[in-house]
Amino acid sequence: MSDGVTGLIETQAGAEPRNGERRRGIDRVIMLLEALLRHRAPMRVGDIAKMIGAPRSTTYEIVNSLLEAEMLENVGTEGYVYFGKAMHLFGWAYSHHNAHYRRIIETLDRLAAETGETVQLCGLRGNKYVVLDCRDSPGPFRISSDVGVEVPIPWTASGRLLLGHMSEQEIRDFIPPGDYTLPDGRVIAPAEFFGDVALARQQGFSETAALADRFTWCMAAPIRDGNGAINKTLCFVLPVDTPEARRSELLALLCERATGLSLAGS
């Protein structure tokens, strides 16, 4: 392992341009792709260089290689690059390499079509929560977060389920302290969060109301793998004022479908 700087790289500015430090091309590629993912929009080569702390000459070299491989693509008239077609194909191959994932996507589609609500498939990436795929509600409300954007685990209903296999101490070591602070400045007491996790494990679902923002009611249900562990969750993102009757109906549906997707009983 490379000095375990993975945590630092994830954080915003990340690597500082330390003097005389020389990095491997592969690592540059990884940093570049992660930077593009965080930025979520085409970037110019110069900006990429700054963002990943690499010399411009090196960055040009790497970008040109990736362009040739169609892993990156020129966007717009001048100098902007973003992910390319090859990435799409690699990602598609990942999504469909097992029948289980395909069934999950079908369920996602069906849930969205039947209910008209926003549905998400969620999971962990390192010590953050990410949306893996989503179907947005066709209505005027578009409140879902973007696929691939990393969010602190305590901000989410799914996060409480995804940590179900961990002890209190493990959770304490796993979650960065700053992640208990919500976007509006409120702080979730760790003890309370541990209680939420335990409750979610016991109930087999998890709900949060107006947590990460003031407008959404989230409900999540676990998808278990062959060992009974929770790798992914299915969840609804509803307007916070959704009537209780509708909510419990949706929750029941969500749990039923998620259980149907699990490979081992609870």
The contact set with DNA (CB under 7 A) reads 19-26, 28, 44-47, 54-58, 60-62, 64, 78-79
86 binds, among a second copy, DNA, none (CB under 5 to 8 A by kind): a second copy
In whole angstroms, how close is the CB of 65 to DNA at the nearest point? 8
- Whichever of 40 and 172 has its CB closer to a second copy, that residue is 40
- Whichever of 60 and 174 has its CB closer to DNA, that residue is 60
Among 49, 54, 71, 153, binds a second copy (CB under 8 A): 71
Q: Would you count residue 42 as binding a second copy (CB under 8 A)?
A: yes
- Whichever of 77 and 202 has its CB closer to a second copy, that residue is 77
DSSP-derived 3-state class of residue 1: coil
Best CA proximity match to 179, nearest among 163, 167, 164, 165? 163
DSSP-derived 3-state class of residue 27: helix
- Contact between 132 and 108 (Cβ < 8 Å): no
- Whichever of 44 and 100 has its CB closer to DNA, that residue is 44
Q: Would you count residue 92 as binding a second copy (CB under 8 A)?
A: yes
* Amino acid residing at 142: R
Mask: binding to a second copy, 165-204, rule CB under 8 A, as x and -? ----------------------------------------
DSSP-derived 3-state class of residue 139: coil
In whole angstroms, how close is the CB of 19 to DNA at the nearest point? 7
In whole angstroms, how close is the CB of 127 to DNA at the nearest point? 23
* CA dist 119 → 4, 28, 69, 167 (Å): 35, 35, 34, 29
Q: Would you count residue 142 as binding a second copy (CB under 8 A)?
A: no
Query: Cα(166)–Cα(266) distance, rounded to whole angstroms?
Result: 16
Specify the DSSP element, H or E, that contains 172: helix 168-174
- Whichever of 40 and 214 has its CB closer to a second copy, that residue is 40
Query: Cα(101)–Cα(261) distance, rounded to whole angstroms?
Result: 9
Stretch that binds a second copy, among 47-55, 65-73, 165-173, 205-213 (CB under 8 A): 65-73
Query: Cα(26)–Cα(173) distance, rounded to whole angstroms?
Result: 29
41's tokens: 């929009």
- Whichever of 8 and 69 has its CB closer to a second copy, that residue is 69
What stretches of the chain adopt beta strand conformation (E)? 43-44, 72-75, 80-83, 118-125, 128-135, 151-152, 206-209, 216-224, 230-239
- Whichever of 28 and 205 has its CB closer to a second copy, that residue is 28
Query: Cα(26)–Cα(11) distance, rounded to whole angstroms?
Result: 20
Among 15, 86, 188, 253, binds a second copy (CB under 8 A): 86
Provide the binding-site residues for a second copy, judged by CB under 8 A. 1-2, 6, 24-27, 29-30, 33-34, 36-37, 40-42, 62, 65-66, 68-71, 73, 75, 82-97, 109, 113, 123, 125, 130, 132-133, 147-148
